[in-house]
Amino acid sequence: MNQELYEKSEDNQLTVNISGYEGPLDLLLDLSKKQKVDILKISILELSEQYLLFINENIENIKLNADYLIMASFLAFLKSKLLLPEKDEEIAELEEDITQRIAHYNAIKIATSELSGLPRQDIDFFINKFSKEFFISENIVINANLSDLINDYLKLYNRNHRESLKINEDKLYSVQNGLEWLKKIFNFHHDEWRNIFEFLPKNICDLKLKKSATVSILLASLNMVKDGSIELSQKKNFSDIFIKIGEKNG
């Protein structure tokens, strides 16, 4: 990028972004990475030459940020000292200082990038905010009106006087009952025909139960005829039905 970017912050201060760099340290960090060595082992002389070259290429920009020019003058001074035959302790301290600044700035950028990737409150997640202030009172406060009291009374009354509907289960006879009744046929001679309804219980008084017993014994007789236990005989419709022991048990 070779154009200058301008941004206005919230306090209306102008921020100059030269060729996409946020400041002189950002530019130094990028130039040091191009050396492809450990930041703490970079060549300060080579770094100074690259930085000054960059400033010279953008020197026509009259609004060049003062921080860039200050760093350029410092690096020009440091470069001149490095080119001298003798290297004193002051130059070594300055060289170590600029190296540490670049390393520290690099660590800040890495930490900033990692922090930016973390979930952010009110953007990636939300929390419930409530007041933690509370107090305990031993006073009993009744907050109810007459309508509430009447409704609660009706609920209690209905709960204590609730009537449950009980339906008595009808005891009807099954096919198994019919089979038990027809087993008595085996007490007779195998050639003797007996009226099927003689095997019904004699103590059934309820009409519904009588109908149930009749259906049960008829169904049971059909099952016994099917397996050959008994034989059925009826001369015409609605006439008496007779049974006897089948040939299987004869």
pLDDT in the model for residue 18: 59
Give the integer Cα–Cα distance in Å for 185 and 102. 113
Break the chain into its structural domains and give their ranges.
4-116, 175-249
pLDDT along the chain (250 residues), means of 10: 39 49 71 66 75 76 68 74 66 76 80 82 76 70 81 85 68 88 83 88 86 90 88 86 79
**φ, ψ at 198 (rounded to 5°):** -70, -20
Please answer whether residues 45 and 82 qualify as being in contact, where contact means their C-beta atoms are separated by less than 8 angstroms. yes
With vertex at residue 179, the alpha carbon angle to CA 184 and CA 245, rounded to the nearest 5 degrees, is: 50
User: What is the pTM assigned to this prediction?
Assistant: 0.35
pLDDT in the model for residue 40: 60
Q: What length is written for the chain?
A: 250
Please answer whether residues 2 and 19 qualify as being in contact, where contact means their C-beta atoms are separated by less than 8 angstroms. yes
pLDDT in the model for residue 131: 66
Please answer whether residues 217 and 199 qualify as being in contact, where contact means their C-beta atoms are separated by less than 8 angstroms. yes
Domain 175-249 maps to which CATH number in 1.10.10.580, 2.40.10.220, 2.60.40.1930, 3.60.21.10? 1.10.10.580
Amino acid symbol at 226: K
pLDDT in the model for residue 4: 40
Describe the strand order of the beta sheet including 242-245 as a list of residue ranges.
194-195, 242-245, 230-233
pLDDT in the model for residue 7: 43
pLDDT in the model for residue 19: 61
| Distant-in-sequence, close-in-space partners of 82: CB < 8 Å, separation ≥ 6 | 44, 45, 48, 91, 95
pLDDT in the model for residue 11: 44
pLDDT in the model for residue 61: 67
